[in-house]
Amino acid sequence: MYLPEELKKNPEINIPIEGIRGWKVGGTEGLVVFFEISPGSVLPEHSHCYQWGYVIDGEIELTIGGEARVYRKGDSYTIPEGVSHSGRIEKGCLAMDFFSDPSRY
């Protein structure tokens, strides 16, 4: 489960979480990041700007505002600005996320 090499020609984000890599496509009104997440990765609890995401392949368990749910291929999720969230990725995941802050990464 890997993103296309053409997509990886975009700038890679600096994310200090083992097993998570991302490539950004930016604009003036927001930022899109394509994530490649290895099995067994853990996303610590945090919050930031508005985020909308889509699972391209695999699955991710997200806890958003205290509510846990597993998102699978084809599912989308919304994380309102300032809401705490975390994640666990047991089997690996490819995701595309939009962030309302173009300077998020």
Q: Where are the alpha helices (DSSP H) in 8-102?
A: none
pTM assigned to the model: 0.94
Q: Does residue 39 contact residue 87 with C-beta atoms inside 8 Å?
A: no
pLDDT above 90 (res 26): no
- Cα(92)–Cα(101) distance, rounded to whole angstroms? 26
pLDDT above 90 (res 27): no
Higher pLDDT, 87 or 2: 87
Q: Where are the alpha helices (DSSP H) in 25-75?
A: none
Taking the domains of the chain in order of start, what are their residue ranges?
Answer: 12-99
Mean pLDDT computed over 84-89: 98
pLDDT above 90 (res 17): yes
Q: How confident is the model at residue 18 (pLDDT cuts 50, 70, 90)?
A: very high
For the domain made up of 12-99, give the CATH fold: Jelly Rolls (2.60.120)
pLDDT tens sequence across 28-86: 899 999 999 999 999 999 999 999 999 999 999 999 999 999 999 999 999 999 999 99
